[in-house]
Structure 1
Amino acid sequence: MEPVAQPSFSRLPLNLRTSRTVAKVQFSNSGGSLFVFVKSSLTGDLISCPVLFTGGKCGFTIPLVGSQGWTVQAAAMVLIQSFCEFNSSISHTWVDEGISPCFYFTLVPTILLTMSFFLGTLHCIFYRKYGTAMEPKFIPRSCFYRLQQFLSVLVLVQFLGGLVWQAASGAELPGYVVLYGCFSVLSWAWAIALLHVERRRVLVMDRSSGHSTVLLLFWAVAFSAENLAFISWYSPHWWWGLENNQQQVLFALWLIRYIGIGLLFFIGLKAPGLPRRPYMLLINEDERDVENSGQVLTIFLSLSKNLLGRTDDNQSTWQGFRKKVRLLIPYIWPQGNIFLQLLVLFCLGLVGVERAINVFVPIYYKNIVNELTDGSSWHTLATTVCIYVLFKFLQGGGAGASGFVSNIRSFLWIRVQQFTDRVVQVRLFAHLHALSLRWHLSRKTGDVLRSIDRGTSSINSLLSYIVFSILPTIADIVISIIYFITNFNAWFGLIIFICMTLYLTLTVIITEWRTKYRREMNQQDNIAKSKAVDSLLNFETVKYYNAENYEVSRFEDAILKYQLSEWKTQASLAFLNQTQNIIIGSGLLAGSLLCAYFVTEGKFQVGDYVLFGTYIIQLYTPLNWFGTYYRAIQRSFIDMESMFKLFEEEEEVKDEVNAGSLLYKLGKVEFENVYFSYTNGKVILQDVSFSVLPGQTVALVGPSGSGKSTIIRLLFRFYDVQGGCIRIDGQDISKVKQTSLRAHIGVVPQDTVLFNDTIRNNIRYGRISASDQEVEEAAIAADIHEKIITFPEGYDTQVGERGLKLSGGEKQRVAIARTILKAPRLILLDEATSALDTQTERNIQASLAKVCANRTTVVVAHRLSTIIGADQILVISDGRIAERGRHEELLLKGGLYADMWMKQQHAQDSDSSSDTESKDRQSEKLQPPSTSSGHHGN
């Protein structure tokens, strides 16, 4: 071997010992960072070895690959390291078919640091001097912003990690490598700080939205610089050859940078961590909302938003993902049911079996091709074919979509799916019944039913897509990358990885963009269905006003708005599908060409090409549905938003933790200084105090809106009082369980609503455990039995929706029979006969008298003639008790009650006179004309 002649070398004395395979070299020096080059005079190969020592003797071993007993005469030169590598200079921009690493890794970090430091500092000064802190309510919460932060930190850490690894591994560490690492760490640290500043502060007068030009330009330049590495594809000075451990590590670090910076650039275009509209507009809109919205309107909008699940159109579907997952966990894992838990575990095990089958199917297909081309024996070929067909039978067509294992798993999962559906519906139904009357008066039945239906079905869809589609597909991708790297080479793994990354990233970005169209379509669908339900429920009113054409026109307009939103959704879906097809086709083309090249070079067999094509097509089959899965999951989250909003509705009236049951003794009712209002600012009841002794009847009268029905609702505890207290037998009703309170109270409302069921079941609703005989006895007591038996189906007659097949008097009698069957100790009559004619009212009053006999009764009356015999009459006016006493006493006072009595009596006399005159006119029409003979022939 001959020494390499370089003027910067320091010649060292060497002790050389050789064998057939290695040359062992020892030398001494005073210490320092040295690099030893040994050149073979036989082959001309240049062998280099880094030497880091502090003085004394140092030795190293040089492999003599290919030598056959040759004698080595060697000398070594030691090179003091410089800024660039040996035989390289920063002034050389193009070396050996590629960009000079020394030039590239010096220029790029310098530009990025200059840009981030100077432009970023100037930008921060403007933000600090002219900006203001952004209000937290305008800062969107997005998982993509967290991804931005993570990727920024990841890129920074890989720069630092790469520098530390090269120093610790003893590899050559030129000066430009140190500069590249240090400058990159500083520039990315400054970019992370700028990202944080833009999220927390804002230039109020700035009419633009999104990230600043400085940050976008930084990401764009950084990503463009990483793409320049492809120009040096054939250069031996770069890592593309993957010939040793150092090149493989450098390539892995570059891959992390490339993907991380690329994602940062594309996500940065959307700016998920910043408001979607200019901050100034958001402030102005918020101020106008505050100025123009009263408290009642605010409550209404809040209820509407919660009911319909209407959120910001630009809000990510994945916002609050962890909270949603926590709500779903009880439905994923069936607590307390060991059998279903074992089913879940077994189904998950079958999913793992399917992943293994997906690997073996293309492998055995490859073996069949190779055995056919190599001329293997029939026995060997038949065995391979049978094994392949067995795996294919287990896998099914495609990637396990309809194979034996998949079908078994789907069959076993039915029980789990039914459990989930049942639990969700029952819990939500129970929760809705626990909500306050205030919420139920503000809701829309059609919207609630749609929310329940779509929400429960979406949970099952979500679980199926995640457990049996998304996670298995991701597992297949990871397994395929590992398989092709270990059995083919890293290029195939890289192709699959890049294609998968681009596919998934663009799928997520585009799908997130089109979320607003899907949400808008749901809202328009809710509106259309609500109008249809509202119109059908008011069928008679529509007929009264001959408004069929108007209702049809309203419904058609709602459908047109829905279809416009639907068109936007479908158009954006077509764009997403085309993008996915381009990525999948490009990846398949690149991999097939590369595999065909290796086959022609003799490095691969024909079976390897068949394996690659089979495996990739098998992989792309579920991947082609990945966008559909993601959209389905996103749609499920959107559909679940309304249901989650229902779950989030707070129970306004709650039992205390240690609440006991009501101990009903005599039935004394006391109102003590009660205050109540439905909304802040308008008091409905103020300082209301009265008592109802056991067995007494107290009547509440007064103008409409004075608070009479509110007293009934407070006593039944539909609401809690905001001041004072209500007692029954000395017990504060807010301190007892609601079920025990309501078990002792019977209510006959003004508007009796019956279930769409038989008359028998509607009466039995007063006491579910009652027998048929008890039901009929209650009907007899309510004076409805004789009418029921005249119906063709008797007690089994269907009453129709809301009892529309019965007259008003018949419905009231059914409600009275229901209350009689309940046998309550306290009766509440809320204008029970005000909507009936006089004769029907008199008949109903007789039945009510039987119900209220010897029971404490509170009556809200419109017709004063019905409460003449009340033990006490309370006249309510403007939320206060204006007068109290018996009928005769109040008439003598000549106050508000006396005025109401006189007006009703006058109106009743007028009605009676009108009825008499009408009957007289009718009689005159029916009488024959007079034929007196006294008028003829005198």
Structure 2
Amino acid sequence: MRKNRFPTNHDEPVKWHVLSQLWPYLLEFKQRVFLALLCLVAAKLASIGLPYVLKYTVDSLNGDLTKLAIAVPISLIAAYGTLRLLNVLLGEIRDTLFGRVTERAMRRLGLKVFKHLHNLDLGFHLNRRTGGLSRDIERGTNGVSFLMRFMVFNIVPTLLEIALVVGLLLFQFGVSFALIIVCSVIAYIGFSMKATDWRTRFVTQMNEADSTTNSRAVDSLLNFETVKYFNNESFEANRYDTDLAAWEKARRKNRLSLFALNGGQAAIIAIAMTSMMANAALGVMNGEMTIGDFVLINAFTMQIFMPLNFLGFVYREIRGSLANIDKLFELLAQKPAIKDADNATELTCTNPAIAFNDVLFSYSENRQILKGLSFEVPPGSKVAVVGESGAGKSTLMKLLFRFYEPNEGNITINGKDISLLTQQSLRAHIGIVPQDTVLFNTTLLENIRYGNPDAADEEIQQVLKLAHLEAFVASLPDKLETTVGERGLKLSGGEKQRVSIARALLKGAPIMIFDEATSSLDSTSERAILSALRDAAKGHTSLVIAHRLSTIVDADKILVLKNGAIVEEGTHTHLLERQGEYATLWQAQQRDSEEDIEENAENSVETHPSNIGEGDNA
């Protein structure tokens, strides 16, 4: 079982402080809250009036009924029905009024958490578990609804009703009845809270098992292809079943603890009801009380314990809701590692120059990635960065986007330190074609338009042409309305990369980053798209992170990165003449390319039908 991001201490006190954090969300509809509370009080007064009407009805029916006197019980019965109807209607009006408040609070809080998650740094999102996090958000927002509904409309009115009933019993029937009610309610509430606190650990274990199971399922389904590649369906099913077994065990403990809670509550209610009825019966036999009083006592006792019957469930759910909402507020309290400076300014430029100045960076203390890196990308130029895997090439892109901050040194655009620019304006000036293209599970059109949601249809057609997507789109039955599937799984790697290129071009940013932008394309498509990208990049400042050296031979400058430092720089021709690191990489790739061509040719000869036929004839 994975460790919960926000570990729960089963013995920790109830997080009542969460209520103060929710208060601002209630103030948006002050009038609705006030009217709902008025309806609540009126409904409770009607509820307390019902036993009295019942008492007087019984007493009137217990006497001699003349034609004139019969009007009294009939009127009381009509009054009873009216009060019962009012009690229900006022409750419905109250729920309707307060429902808008609850729904708006859930919307506001949900949106705030969603925005906050997008503002958190890349480090947070690399460590999160999407399935578990989504469950935490879902439980938190649902907790807001439950807490407001039951706290305002169950706990508070029940306590109000108990106080009123105890006062009435004390005033009208003496200390003994009031004392039984008070002692029974205290015993019931005390037992319910203690038992609920005891069984909360089982509820928490069940929720943690649920989150783990959900995360496992989401991870496995998102990596469906990988599971199939390695024939690991049984392995995934076994891991999932292990999580389900933990969930089943937690559910069983939860169910048994609920039985103990309900049994204890039922015993307290039975003793209280019996004591009240016995006391009332003695009063009737002694002539101190009427049959109507007996009915009144019975009605009051049942009326008090009916809502209390759910106290264990309500208290547990309120406690759980407070804990779940607190998780949301803990999430909101997470501070992003990358924040705009207090005096941050907007970046506005059309011909930017980029400079890395003595940049040192490491993801962890024991592994330095960049070691005092310095280079410039002049306005409108194309600079390529090459090197072995792990040399730090993609880190340059993450630093430029401010996903991370340099440990030392700085990065500037037109002489402005990017740490003093707003992240929004900085990223608005950068377009990217990433190596790993991930698409949304929607249409081709929506995925391309994501680069600029306000783009006109003519602009869409232009980038389709530039990315050489026109023929592919024309071949599809639904054209641009074709759904690409989860993460674009319905498209090939090359098709996804072309969509990514079209999306980046549609953004129209003055800085373009290509991170292995043609790694999934065949040679013919690669040449065509590179030609289109060269045309589209005119007037743009381009940074190309490349593995295939053939894609960057036209770069204005090539930087060779090794172990986090620049060991060579120059044009393609100049670097080949130096016979250094770049020349070694070039020659190795040329040999690999020649071997691939020869191997493909041999395979073609072996499998071509005409060659097989010639062999048979011979």
Q: TM-score, normalised by structure 2?
A: 0.95
Cα contact 1:595–1:609 (8 A) shared by 2 = yes
The residue type equivalent to 1:667 in the other structure is P
Q: 1:355 aligns with which of 44, 55, 71?
A: 44
Q: Distance in 2 between matches of 1:486 and 1:345?
A: 31
Partner of 2:612: 926
Q: Distance in 1 between matches of 2:615 and 2:410?
A: 72
Does the alignment pair 1:375 with 2:64?
yes
Mean Cα deviation higher: 780-789 or 855-864? 780-789
Partner of 2:548: 863
Cα contact 2:469–2:499 (8 A) shared by 1 = yes
Partner of 1:511: 196
Helix, strand or coil at the partner of 2:252 = helix
Helix, strand or coil at the partner of 1:869 = coil
Q: Distance in 1 between matches of 2:309 and 2:200?
A: 20
Q: How far apart are residue 910 of structure 1 and its match?
A: 1.5
Partner of 1:811: 496
Q: Distance in 1 between matches of 2:78 and 2:132?
A: 56
Partner of 1:332: 26
Structure 1, residues 151-187: CA drift from partner, whole Å, max 9, x if none? xxxxxxxxxxxxxxxxxxxxxxxxxxxxxxxxxxxxx
Q: Distance in 2 between matches of 1:931 and 1:757?
A: 54
Instruction: Indicate the structure with greater helix content.
Output: 2
Q: 1:654 aligns with which of 336, 339, 342?
A: 339
Q: Distance in 2 between matches of 1:393 and 1:662?
A: 65
Helix, strand or coil at the partner of 1:620 = helix
Q: How far apart are residue 829 of structure 1 and its match?
A: 0.8
Does the alignment pair 1:726 with 2:406?
no
Structure 1, residues 449-507: CA drift from partner, whole Å, max 9, x if none? 21222211111111111011111111111111111111111111111111111111111
The residue type equivalent to 1:316 in the other structure is E
Q: How far apart are residue 531 of structure 1 and its match?
A: 1.3
The residue type equivalent to 1:328 in the other structure is L
Helix, strand or coil at the partner of 2:380 = coil
Does the alignment pair 1:394 with 2:91?
no
Does the alignment pair 1:567 with 2:263?
no
Structure 1, residues 591-619: CA drift from partner, whole Å, max 9, x if none? 11112112211222221111000111011
The residue type equivalent to 1:380 in the other structure is V
Alignment of 1:168-247 (within 5 A): none
Q: Distance in 2 between matches of 1:736 and 1:508?
A: 53
Q: TM-score, normalised by structure 1?
A: 0.64
Q: 1:904 aligns with which of 585, 589, 595?
A: 589
Mean Cα deviation higher: 798-807 or 547-556? 547-556
Cα contact 2:351–2:539 (8 A) shared by 1 = no
Q: How far apart are residue 931 of structure 1 and its match?
A: 6.1
Q: How far apart are residue 926 of structure 1 and its match?
A: 3.1
Partner of 1:696: 381
Q: 1:578 aligns with which of 233, 258, 263?
A: 263
Q: Distance in 1 between matches of 2:535 and 2:179?
A: 87
Segments of 5+ residues of structure 1 without an aligned counterpart are 1-300, 335-339, 396-402, 933-938
Cα contact 2:351–2:540 (8 A) shared by 1 = no
Helix, strand or coil at the partner of 2:542 = strand
Structure 1, residues 874-909: CA drift from partner, whole Å, max 9, x if none? 122222222222222222333322222222122112
Helix, strand or coil at the partner of 2:363 = coil
Does the alignment pair 1:521 with 2:218?
no
Q: Distance in 2 between matches of 1:392 and 1:916?
A: 90
Q: Distance in 1 between matches of 2:127 and 2:528?
A: 35
Cα contact 2:4–2:208 (8 A) shared by 1 = no
Cα contact 2:411–2:418 (8 A) shared by 1 = yes
Does the alignment pair 1:310 with 2:7?
yes
Does the alignment pair 1:872 with 2:550?
no
Q: 1:833 aligns with which of 518, 531, 534?
A: 518
Alignment of 1:620-635 (within 5 A): 620-635=305-320
Q: How far apart are residue 634 of structure 1 and its match?
A: 2.1
Q: Distance in 2 between matches of 1:829 and 1:632?
A: 51
The residue type equivalent to 1:349 in the other structure is L
Q: Distance in 1 between matches of 2:228 and 2:479?
A: 30
Mean Cα deviation higher: 520-529 or 833-842? 833-842
Cα contact 1:495–1:590 (8 A) shared by 2 = yes
Q: Distance in 2 between matches of 1:833 and 1:510?
A: 63
Q: For the structure 1 residues 859 and 931, does the alpha-carbon distance in structure 2 shift closer, same or farther, using more than 3 Å as the test? A: closer
Q: Distance in 2 between matches of 1:804 and 1:652?
A: 33
Q: How far apart are residue 665 of structure 1 and its match?
A: 4.6
Q: For the structure 1 residues 628 and 929, does the alpha-carbon distance in structure 2 shift closer, same or farther, using more than 3 Å as the test? A: closer
Alignment of 1:500-899 (within 5 A): 500-899=185-584
Structure 1, residues 831-881: CA drift from partner, whole Å, max 9, x if none? 112244434433332332233222110011011111111111112222222
Structure 1, residues 752-807: CA drift from partner, whole Å, max 9, x if none? 11111111111111111112222122212221122212211111111111111122
Partner of 1:135: none
Q: Distance in 2 between matches of 1:930 and 1:820?
A: 54
Partner of 1:479: 164
Cα contact 2:102–2:144 (8 A) shared by 1 = no
Cα contact 2:494–2:520 (8 A) shared by 1 = no
Partner of 1:428: 113
Q: How far apart are residue 922 of structure 1 and its match?
A: 2.8
Alignment of 1:48-59 (within 5 A): none
Cα contact 2:58–2:292 (8 A) shared by 1 = yes
Partner of 1:446: 131
Q: How far apart are residue 582 of structure 1 and its match?
A: 0.8
Structure 1, residues 399-418: CA drift from partner, whole Å, max 9, x if none? xxxx1211222223332232
Structure 1, residues 1-44: CA drift from partner, whole Å, max 9, x if none? xxxxxxxxxxxxxxxxxxxxxxxxxxxxxxxxxxxxxxxxxxxx
The number of equivalent residue pairs is 613
Segments of 5+ residues of structure 2 without an aligned counterpart are none
RMSD: 1.8
Q: Distance in 2 between matches of 1:500 and 1:895?
A: 87
Does the alignment pair 1:470 with 2:166?
no
Q: Distance in 1 between matches of 2:526 and 2:106?
A: 47
Q: Distance in 1 between matches of 2:439 and 2:616?
A: 54
